[in-house]
A = this chain, B = another copy of it.
Amino acid sequence: MDAIEILKQLKDKGVRFTPQRQAILEFLLGTESHPTADEIYHHVKAKFPGVSLGTIYNTLNMLKVHGHILELSYGDMSSRFDGNPQNHYHIVCSKCGKVTDFHRPLIDVDQEAEEKSGFSIIGHRLEFYGICPECNGEKRLN
């Protein structure tokens, strides 16, 4: 499903179609990265120089609330947004913050969660926490 299609669907819920929203959603759907609001802002600004951060947050929140994107918070202050849930998992170093991809078959539990909870499940997130080899090798940890 592409950006235009999603935005058309949302019209039924009183959400308006604007070119800024189209640009934001297209960017999110077209990347495998999990950009921050600020990164999205700078990207959209290339096409719409007048766009403001408030619009970015407004749109991201609207898309999240309607279940089209995921807001993923890592320890590092700013949230990241994901337009393509279900790609891969992460391992995060509790010391240096480094994020490593962890490739393994996706865990098949979304349907179980949906049945047991009654939620409409959009996706899941699996994250491992630990200390990376480099940080483990260092002497002073403070």
Point out residues on A near B: beta carbons under 8 Å.
13-15, 62, 64-67, 70-71, 73-75, 79, 85, 91, 93-95, 100, 102, 104, 107, 109-110, 112-114, 116-133, 136, 140-142
The answer to whether B142 and A119 touch across the interface, beta carbons within 8 angstroms, is: no
The answer to whether A112 and B104 touch across the interface, beta carbons within 8 angstroms, is: yes
Residues of B within 8 A of A64 (CB): 75, 94
- Within 8 Å by CB of A75, from B73, B94, B122, B127, lies B73
The answer to whether A122 and B130 touch across the interface, beta carbons within 8 angstroms, is: yes
Distance, CA A116 to CA B103, complexed state (A): 9
Distance, CA A119 to CA B136, complexed state (A): 8
Answer whether A121 and B117 are a contact pair too, CB < 8 Å, given A79-B75, A142-B15: no
Answer whether A121 and B130 are a contact pair too, CB < 8 Å, given A14-B140, A65-B95: yes
The answer to whether B141 and A118 touch across the interface, beta carbons within 8 angstroms, is: no
Answer whether A93 and B119 are a contact pair too, CB < 8 Å, given A129-B125, A130-B114: yes
